[in-house]
Chain A
């Protein structure tokens, strides 16, 4: 086997040193009743060529030849091959968590840079070295607010990503926390602040909302913060589309920001691995979960970095830790750091500006079709809820025939919104892609209209 660096003669020599004559004897401490006495029934062994062929075949069964307008927490943005080439250096790829600081300074300095970039983007004072993803970061941020406030109730916006919401519910359920929901405003698409105001009480630990929210609307974070703080609770703001921070004001008034960084240099990869991050105010740092790199010096005064404030963590505190998290998403966070280093101040601003422009172009073109309009009035970044004169699911069936994956139907998430879809347009879409979507949608609506008209006499005959 090519991964095993021993010849059979070497194996026999090592066994002889142990006074053993067979490999089986190495397992004598396992009772016979616990042993597997047959070979595993699994596919393989495969050579490298066969592995590649197998996965190429699977890749061919997916949607690589389609143009997609899906967002909803996973975004297609330009990435540089330079970052990926650097990321595959073995010293990054095959190193462990940097507990041994003297031989991990590369990873540690990069984490410190990641933390700095996340603070700059979010307008917060400290950021951790990463969480699993945006959804678990949001749940952990809510639990962090529970620890800080000593209160047991969460108020969650209905416009929070439904899958993030489900994760919050899972974590809350096992700790006996109460989760209340506030609606979004039917006109603006933003969290209904009047309803939020009346939902807050002295037991509320945190308000959790997302901006841009699941419907694409930018939330009024300063006002939400004011309301939340008036009741003594903390405001948790989730961000699923981090590129928005290239043009959208950061949620500086939030007490905790839980962000998904996928859109900053990570491939969609069917949903993971991504990297979440928690950013907060300095005074809450000891309540924060996850690893942190800090700057320090050695005995000779040379600058270096170490993992720090570990007394929050499970390997030191065990059952008293702030979270059970151990492994995080270090390599993904490093990819984000590399991507942002390349993109830089001007590149990020330009990328965000292109998203603003393309999403608005797509919306304007779609709105030229009869019965198609924007569903909500609040400002949006690169995602917008569009209302169609027919079921989005049905329209999408037509679009698929032209190899277009259309807007995400909102019906499964909000039963009253079957004719609405969440459209995402980024800098990766050309004007031609958008025009193709618009003409295909026009054809779909026309075909569906014809179908409906044709169905009327048939109905009447019955």
Chain B
């Protein structure tokens, strides 16, 4: 008798996906998907209330669809997406880990989701306590002295950090001119330094993928305000000389900024505050599991050492005598306000829910994340080129050097992964590895899922050698093939118009 469930199972099978037009293309006059309670005060005429010059008629071509159509529309669209909930999402440096549903539940609670940021502070103590508790957790995890939760995302956290460095140095007489950025850094680092008024100097990595210390010593002149370093760096390797880098910088009056995008490799194992970092940001949508949501919202808290505390963005959460919490907005040395109100509160709630679920056990997640990355490295190093030989932390970077011989590059391999039921890894980054395959499994993957990924990657390596065209024309299983990006940029169509 056959036993279907005992058969070996590959990850993906094709199934029908339903087509769906744009909202605007299914609109018909008179339909609606939401009704309001009747107005219980005297109606007013808009034109009369506002005057002709300030009023408008109905918004032209605005959608008119019913509730069931809206439900089907977005449900159909959703099935066109890959998601963590469907499987491994090995995007290097993006930390696509499981997003617990209880976090969604608590962020929507009446009394949290309903609260207005300008309501009296004595009626906001619950919100403020959540913020203060998260600050304390982040201070302990990073080993830093103070935290601001204001920044909306990592890039704004970087901005806050570099602005604080600038304010600190200016306060001591000279803001200086340059920020050093390793060539392996995320693009946000140089972009941030410029936004904060600095000139960017790129410094190179050595043969092992780490910052070239001799190069750093040479470039860390009196003109330099800071070094922005990601640790572990973007090739997944811990910067072992980080404490020495801090010494070199500090001796010359400069500061050390750490991009905490890769904190998922360190939480509970090592603390930036213990190895010389002056200021750093974290991405709560990475390490602390808040959902990426197709590109945001995130949150980018910044942690600082004591000497930078006076420069924190406004307002600063303070605990008053008697334990009541409040905002302090009178801080003359502050870099100022980064955004209206008090940060991406709903995201911060989710991050705290995540931290509370683990408690000190957060370190187990860190260990599993590093274990998974090293397991993948071990299982794939004989078929993909490993540019740096040392053990990795939470992510591993290969290159497409061997597949290139058959005309197959990292993007082709990534696209082919889709046919095997996986989201691609990060391609062509970091820039210091030509044809990079940057793979971060996170702690959220079971052995079964990891093994399916290994099987897929090994199978693609074989295809690259035997049937390269199959890989180069992938994906073959998606509702659309590779899209014409050049055409999209050359003649941009950025909105629907009725003529089409």
Contact = CB atoms under 8 A, between A and B. Distances in A.
B197 A247 contact: no
A144 interface: no
Interface string A1-32: 11111100011011101100001001111110
A103 B478 contact: yes
A86 B75 contact: yes
A255 B431 CA distance: 37
B294 interface: yes
A52 B196 contact: no
A119 B275 CA distance: 49
Interface stretch (A200-208, A228-236, A291-299, A448-456): A291-299
Interface string A314-343: 111111110111111111101000101111
19 contacts: A17-B378, A26-B391, A27-B393, A31-B243, A46-B357, A59-B110, A92-B293, A96-B423, A98-B295, A102-B483, A115-B495, A245-B59, A275-B297, A293-B494, A327-B300, A344-B62, A345-B64, A379-B49, A379-B50
Given A54-B356, A58-B126, A95-B82, A324 B191 contact: yes
A43 B137 contact: yes
Interface residues of A, number: 198
A323 B152 CA distance: 14
Given A126-B495, A327-B285, 10 more contacts: A5-B445, A109-B80, A164-B340, A273-B344, A298-B480, A308-B492, A327-B153, A328-B297, A341-B73, A353-B44
Nearest to B107: A269
A120 interface: yes
B381 to A, nearest CB: 11
Interface string A116-142: 110111000111011011111000000
Contacts of A125: 495
Given A11-B368, A246-B59, A306-B485, A74 B117 contact: yes
User: What 10 pairs between A and B have smallest CB-CB spacing?
Assistant: A44-B359, A59-B111, A271-B341, A331-B293, A90-B85, A61-B126, A271-B117, A330-B295, A273-B297, A170-B336
Given A249-B56, A342-B34, A270 B340 contact: no
B479 interface: yes
B255 to A, nearest CB: 16
A434 B270 contact: no
Contacts of A187: none
Contact of B297 (A50, A56, A126, A331): A331
B44 A357 contact: yes
A352 B47 CA distance: 12
Contacts of B117: 74, 268, 270-271
Q: Most chain-A Cβ atoms within 10 A of its Cβ — which of B98, B275, B496?
A: B496
Interface in A366-406: 379, 381, 396, 400, 405
Interface string B69-95: 011011111111111111001010010
B335 interface: yes
B81 A34 contact: no
A361 B341 CA distance: 29
Interface stretch (B3-11, B35-43, B401-409, B456-464): B35-43
B91 A27 contact: no
Nearest to A143: B195
Interface residues on B, range: 35 or more
B342 A163 contact: no
Interface in A47-97: 48, 50-52, 54-64, 66, 68, 70, 72-74, 76, 78, 80, 82, 84, 86, 88-97
A260 B415 CA distance: 36
Contacts of B40: 430-431
Given A294-B494, A324-B158, A314 B191 contact: yes
B341 A319 contact: no
A354 B336 contact: no
B110 A272 contact: no
A150 interface: no
Contact of A338 (B74, B111, B152): B74
B141 A102 contact: no
A304 interface: yes
A58 B127 contact: yes
A234 to B, nearest CB: 20
Nearest to B359: A44
A113 B22 contact: yes
Given A58-B129, A102-B415, A248-B55, A328 B295 contact: yes
Nearest to A58: B126
Q: Most chain-B Cβ atoms within 10 A of its Cβ — which of A27, A76, A84, A349?
A: A27
